[in-house]
Chain A
Amino acid sequence: MAESGKWEPKILAFLCNWCSYAGADLAGTSRIQYPPNVRIIRVPCSGRVSPFFILSSLQKGVDGVLVSGCHPGECHYLTGNYSARRKFALLKSLLEFAGVEESRVQFSWVSASEGARFAKLIEKVTAEIRELGPSKRLVKTPHQGVFHATANK
């Protein structure tokens, strides 16, 4: 929630240590402005991102998830992002099939030298998720009543 009380999308970004995280860093050190809606989690490789990370994030109520790694062919571990690409292609298709809005979960590649691309990516993703509004599908609703009171603390 922004200070004004207006809804602001909360976006979780899983960025690989070697490219996209460094790209985000470059955007920062180069003083490139991008929307403050994104919270970054650094992962060793886009191949490390389990579909559980993505679904759990949505369940806990983030409005969008972004995963970004090195461009194909530039993975620090040589093939991590290639494997990830296959996994993500299926996950994305499955989520859409199940009716989760298309732009809720997004994937991209950003290299360490692409600070400007990172900023543009965050702008695009934030705008799209803002357009969608708050996430509702897959969000866990806190239970009412004594029985569940502690379970959802």
Chain B
Amino acid sequence: MQQLTNEIRAIARKLLREKKVEVVIGFERGSMPLRSRPCFIRKEEEVNRLFWDGFCENALAVYLPKRKERAAIVAKGCDSRAVVELIKEKQVQRDRVILIGVPCRGMVDRSRIESSAAPRRILEMREIEDTLILRGTDFEETLKRSEFLHESCKTCTHPNPVLHDVLVSEWLEEKNEDPFADIQTFDALTAEERWDYLNKEVDKCIRCYACRNACPLCYCPECFVDASLPQWIGKSIDSSDTMIFHLMRAYHLAGRCVSCGACERACPVGVDIRKLNRKLVKDVKDLFGYEAGLNLEQTSPLATFRPDDTESFIVNP
């Protein structure tokens, strides 16, 4: 981890010194153990704030649209995919962003580590290869990093940056097994059971819209949840309003969601946001052969069509 950190710092220093960019967007150590947070480095003297470990989970591409400065961004696989989509959607100019690609071994789910250590409090954490060494006032414990990854990282098929200008560290092996087992299992339930499960999830939602704000692909100047003319969804706590919010949030990301999991991690009440997103990721792949953010050339699936697209759902009386 220290080595990655050093490499990132060196690249950032060079970019700032040569005035290639005005800002480097990366991570710095948070003020609590198990937390790293986004940071914006504009001066060469500050590059030592940059840091890399298994808790750099935010989707940094969220900071790119509308940015006036030329920026460099530290990009994991998912971040780079988000940048690709943003370039395609003309929210980011390719020549105004430099991607510092970091092959990613998956980010660690802080809450699972905390609950495994509970009720003891973790005061310090060190990460060495695949081990996490936790230390508290009266304990020290070693955990296997790979057992505590985020759900979205466990099903990730593109840990390496798909687009990068500079690469940090080494290329990782990509696993290509079908990551949609969870969606198939859920699909096999009855409609009743699926409805009940999702309703229960959605009922937790407090409509804070953190999921939207954390999403690198949610950049509309006026989101449908804020629109009032017409007001498509009510501001009430009626579960139909919340359900429609969730259906439409997922739908608006169809063919655009890069499965970074930022939405789910941002949710303060643990709504299972992934289900609907992943269903659409799967559908878009199955029906239109498209995976978001993999290359700059392929047209977005809802911006195009084929005369022989699926007709199976059309009623023929």
Which A residues contact B (CB, under 8 angstroms)?
51-52, 55-56, 59, 72-73, 79, 82-83, 85-102, 106-109, 117, 120-121, 123-125, 137-141, 143, 148, 151
19 extra interchain contacts, Cβ-Cβ under 8 A, other than A72-B311, A86-B288, A99-B198? A51-B248, A52-B224, A55-B232, A56-B232, A59-B240, A59-B241, A72-B307, A85-B314, A94-B254, A94-B280, A98-B198, A98-B243, A99-B196, A102-B191, A107-B314, A108-B314, A137-B195, A138-B244, A148-B236
Q: A85-B305, A151-B236 are in contact. Are A121 and B313 (CB under 8 A)?
A: no
Interface positions of B (Cβ within 8 A of A): 186-187, 191-196, 198, 224, 232, 234, 236, 238, 240-241, 243-244, 247-248, 250-251, 254, 276, 279-280, 283-284, 287-288, 301-302, 305-307, 309-311, 313-317
Main SS class of interface, A: helix
Min CB distance A108 to B, Å, is 4
Q: Could you count the A-B residue pairs with CB atoms below 8 Å apart for me: how many are there? A: 120
Question: Would you list 24 pairs from A and B whose C-beta atoms are within 8 A, ordered by A residue?
Answer: A59-B240, A59-B241, A59-B244, A72-B307, A82-B305, A85-B311, A86-B305, A89-B310, A90-B251, A90-B254, A95-B247, A98-B198, A98-B276, A99-B192, A106-B315, A107-B314, A108-B314, A117-B317, A120-B317, A121-B315, A121-B317, A125-B315, A143-B236, A148-B236
CB distance from B197 to the nearest CB of A (A): 8
Say yes or no: B232 contacts A140, CB within 8 Å.
Answer: no
Partner of B284, one of A90, A99, A121, A138: A90
How many whole Å from B142's CB to the nearest CB in chain A?
41
Q: Given that A85-B309, A95-B247, A109-B314 are known contacts, is A141 also in contact with B191, CB under 8 Å in the complex?
A: no
